[in-house]
Amino acid sequence: MDDAVERLTTELIRHLRLTTRAKAALIGAEPGSADPSALLLLPPLVHTGPLRVTDLAELKQADPSTVSRQAAQLVKAGLARREPDPADGRASRLAATPAGEAACARLVGRRRALIGAALADWPAEAVAAFAAQFEQFNTAMEQLLRTGGPTPPADDRENP
């Protein structure tokens, strides 16, 4: 199993690099004045509805101050608006505007097309199995990270 874990680790690192390149290409195709990383806030706003910046940061697993700056860019670009939080009149939520919803639809469409093209030669059963296993892996990783994860071996702690 150690060889398989090593191979998977190598492939996950490769995947992260490819994801960064793909994200730049997908978002770079979106016109507008918002920073490309700010545009990544649109899908959760569109799919879950208005959110407080703190809730959006938690959902995106990002620093709240970074998400706050990105949210301000979306507002300035007309892709999102601030609205009062009905649960707490002192707070506000971020909501996608119609322009933000359209930008999100374009981004999601380009992402699906890219992934679909990469999997075009795969049998449908293989795509379904990969999706199920990848979901299982991501769920296990989320759980590990929520609980603080495992303690690295002593030799890893001594030689970072």
Query: Do the Cβ atoms of 83 and 100 come closer than 8 Å?
Result: no
Query: Do the Cβ atoms of 5 and 13 come closer than 8 Å?
Result: no
pLDDT digits (tens, 9 = 90+) for 86-144: 888 788 999 999 999 999 999 899 989 999 999 999 999 999 999 999 999 999 988 89
Global confidence as pTM: 0.77
Domains in the chain, ordered, with CATH?
A: 30-118 (1.10.10.10)
pLDDT (mean) for 51-75:
92
